[in-house]
Amino acid sequence: AARFLPAGGLVRLRPGRDAAGEAAARLAGFVERATARIGPLLAGLSRRRDWRARAAAAARDMPGRSPARAVAVIAGETLVSANLLRDRLAITQQAANAVLRRLAAAGLIEELSGQSRYRLWRARL
């Protein structure tokens, strides 16, 4: 989940303070911080959308239905493993590994863990 909105703690008003003025100032500060943080979030969503379009086009040129289905899974996850693809797509472990290798060879995903086992992959945005 994207966590981008600033959430401040509760502030108690002291006697003699203008409650309406302080509330307006706090709201203005919140809006300013939220506006500053939403830009990078939207840019990230745009990159992910563009990646999904590129990956779907590349997967259409790959044999079988699994690459296109794998793209849909990868687009919705931060990290994926062959086990995750195996379970989500109801394919064999070997098929899941083959799909990941094909997508990596096409430059669409990258392997992060550097392990020979328990490998984790992510979209190459």
- Does residue 18 surpass a pLDDT of 70? no
Judge whether 61 lies within some domain: yes
Judge whether 112 lies within some domain: yes
CATH assignment of the domain containing 51:
1.10.10.10
Judge whether 95 lies within some domain: yes
Q: Count how many domains the chain has.
A: 1
Give me the pLDDT at residue 5, please: 59
Judge whether 39 lies within some domain: no
Helix H, strand E, coil C: the string for 66-77 is HHHHHHHHHHCC
Give tens-digit pLDDT for 38-64: 888 899 899 999 999 999 999 999 999
Domain containing 90: what range?
A: 46-123
CA–CA separation, 36 and 87 (whole Å): 39
* pTM higher than 0.75: no
Phi, psi of 110 (to 5 degrees): -135, 145
